[in-house]
Amino acid sequence: MRRSVCSVVFVGLLALLAGCTAPLVLPDDEEKKDSTDVNPSGIDYDSIQVVSLGTRTDPYSVLEAWKVAPASDVWVEGIVVGFVKGTSASASAVFSLSDKSAIKQSNLLLADTLTTDYRRCIAIRLANGSEERSELNLYENPSVMHQRLKVHGNLTQYLSITGVYEVEEFVLGNDDNPEENQGNGNDNPQNPNENPSDSPFRANTIDEPVSVAEVVAYVDSMQTLLRVERSYSDEVWVTGYIVGYYNKSPQFDKTGYEFNVMLADSAALTEKNQIVVVKLTKGEVRDAVNLKDNPANLYRHLTIHGRVNEEYGELPSLDNVAESATYANGSPTYRLWN
């Protein structure tokens, strides 16, 4: 009797093991690709107000494009901020031209302002052999970086984010013929004298300045191994913490110098690739800000207005800083926080 029970158990185990040898079925690559999240967390897309028409004269912004996608036959405008070197923006978005060998000719990233956040970008495919690849790819046309670009096509999924897979038309820089080729036909005439700003920086004020990281990203792409020759004319309000000064090399955590101060987004930063040098012209601003006469200013928060320029020594800089503490209209030229 005992042998009979054991035999039954043994036969049952053999049957179970035979069933486990059946092949395991996994979803194919296309199924996994289709499940990619095109609305990654971190941006409140529900709060975005779509006020543009998506026409050539009134194109969608990048965030508006996220909100309305998928959409057909629309125009969208943004600033070229980088590219994707792999197959997913979330894993391989690049916002610099410093490594020429890594630059892809097949796509661009557009954003509303300078950013290093792929979630604020859309991807533009530059099809092989197309006019857009010839004229826009960053490998052969590095000066396209940080220029305004307007594209016409269908908003769909591309490189794991919203994008334009087939570019039908594009306009680089100012649009000289906005009334031609209206795309979806909606009419929204504009004052021909009102052209969008060529500045890659978002609108900024003393109360809403740009960060040090935004300035560094701009200069990094203008002064790279590609040596792009473009004039520097963008004046901005920038804010950061005074972390030292530059004298032949970055002098972190030091005082005793009067001709400039170094700004970083955090008082604890000592990475030279995350610093902007603010040149201080002789006058009221230098008197109030410099670290020789004001050693207590070290680690204080400074907001100041000036012109973004190429590297000062080895760091991006802000020059053309006002000599006076106030403009002619009485508004301040800087703010030093306690």
Span 254-280, pLDDT tens digits = 999 999 999 999 998 888 888 999 999
Whether residue 17 has pLDDT greater than 50: no
Mean pLDDT of the chain: 81
Q: Rounded CA gap, 190 and 132, in Å?
A: 26
Out of 163-167, 194-198, 237-241, least confident range: 194-198
- Among candidate residues 186, 202, 122, 180, the one with its CA nearest the CA of residue 154: 122
Contact 85, 96 (CB under 8 A): no
Type of residue at 78: G
Average pLDDT over residues 143-171: 94
Res 224: pLDDT = 56
Asked if 135 contacts 263 with a C-beta cutoff of 8 angstroms, the reply is no
State pLDDT tens for residues 23-50: 333 333 332 333 344 444 456 777 888 9
Kindly report whether the global pTM for this prediction surpasses the value 0.75: no
Q: Tell me if domain 45-172 and domain 210-336 are identical in fold.
A: yes
Q: Is 207 left (phi over 0), alpha (psi -120 to 50) or beta?
A: alpha
**pLDDT at residue number 62:** 95
Which residue ranges make up each domain of the chain? Answer: 45-172, 210-336
Q: Does the structure show a pLDDT above 70 at 20?
A: no
Fold for domain 45-172?
OB fold (Dihydrolipoamide Acetyltransferase, E2P) (2.40.50)
Please state, in angstroms and rounded to a whole number, the distance separating the CA atoms of residues 284 and 104. Answer: 48
Q: What is the CATH number of domain 210-336?
A: 2.40.50
Single-letter code of the amino acid located at 112: D
C-beta separation of 76 from 59 below 8 A: yes
Residue 111 has a CB neighbour count (10 Å cut-off) of 24
Cα–Cα distance between 156 and 228 in angstroms, integer? 32
The verdict on whether omega for the bond into residue 70 sits within 30 degrees of 0, i.e. cis, is yes
Helices (H) and strands (E) in the chain, counts: 7, 14
Say if CB 68 and CB 50 are below 8 A apart: yes
Q: In whole angstroms, give the CA distance from residue 282 to residue 260.
A: 10
Region of 45 on the Ramachandran plot (φ > 0 left; ψ -120 to 50 alpha; else beta): alpha
Neighbours of 80 (CB within 10 A): 23
What pLDDT score was predicted for residue 129?
94
pLDDT one-digit tens code per residue, 125-140: 999 999 999 999 999 9
Position 194 pLDDT exceeds 80: no
The identity of residue 48, as a single letter, is I
Q: Is the model's pLDDT at 70 over the cut of 50?
A: yes
